[in-house]
Amino acid sequence: MQLRDNEIRITPSIVDRLLDFEPKVSTEAQKSRSQGLRELKHSVRRDLEWLLNTRHTAEKVPDSLEEVNKSIAIYGLPDFTGLSSKNIDDRKSLIRSIETALRIFEPRFMNLKVVMIESEGLERGVKFQIQATLRVEPTPEPVVFDTVLQMGSGEFSVEEK
């Protein structure tokens, strides 16, 4: 028997299945597709924040070591605290680094685009959007995350739009 679209369940990531947010509950209730999708977007937002707030210390790895460039050895982003939010080259470098990290470490995204957003009220920060299509069967789901990097602390905050 084939399930209708609204009956198709979304399987959480392995991390979400291993984390127990309700340790006193021994069984998981069946969730609707919309509830599963909402929880998936929440976990993607959380995972994005973890990735963007992780700094790798690896120097530039030679291109000949292709697998190292896709491994946990370079998980995260380089340290951006010394960059200027006003310098266009620094901003482009930031965008490239974010896109590269997301393409390598966030396989749930398709059609990824990181866009810088001009923000008048943000003194020492950079605002941008992460736009992508979330790989969900049977119908991929568009997602947008508003993201702010505080240049002084190097801390990213991510909110689903």
Q: How many residues does the chain have?
A: 161
What's the whole-model pTM score?
Answer: 0.82
pLDDT per position as a tens digit, 66-125:
888 788 888 999 888 777 878 889 889 999 999 999 999 999 999 999 999 987 777 778
Q: What is the residue-wise DSSP string for 67-132?
A: TGGGSGGG-SB---TTS-TT-HHHHHHHHHHHHHHHHHH-TTEEEEEEEEE--TT-SSEEEEEEEE
Domains and their CATH numbers in the chain: 11-19+29-160 (3.10.450.40)
Q: Is 5 helix (H, G, I), strand (E, B) or coil?
A: helix
pLDDT at 5: 46
Distance CA 146, CA 82 (A): 23
